Amino acid sequence: ENLALKEQVEVLVRENQILKRAVAIQHERQKEYDERGRELEHLKQLVAQYQEQVRTLE
C-alpha cells in the first residue's frame, strides 16, 4: 500500500509538472496575442492618419 501511494504521488508530481509547463506556454502565447493586438491597433491608427494626410493633399 505504501508503495502504491508513493507511485501515485510520483504520477501526480509528473502530471503537475506537465500542467505547469502547459500553463506557462499558454501564458506566453497570451502575451504574444495581446502584443499583436496592441500592434494592430497602432497600425490601424497609422493608416487612419495617412489616409487623412492623403485627403488633405488631394
Interatomic CA distance for residues 8 and 2, integer angstroms: 10
Tell me what pLDDT residue 14 has. 99
Which grid cell sits at 3? 508503495
Tell me what pLDDT residue 1 has. 87
Interatomic CA distance for residues 18 and 41, integer angstroms: 35
Task: Look at 53 and 1; give whichever has higher pLDDT.
Answer: 53
Q: Mean of the pLDDT values across residues 24-31?
A: 99
Q: How far is CA 49 from CA 22, 38, 44, 52, 58, in A?
A: 41, 17, 9, 5, 15
Alpha-carbon radius of gyration of the chain: 25
Model confidence at 20, in pLDDT bands (50, 70, 90)?
very high
Interatomic CA distance for residues 40 and 20, integer angstroms: 30
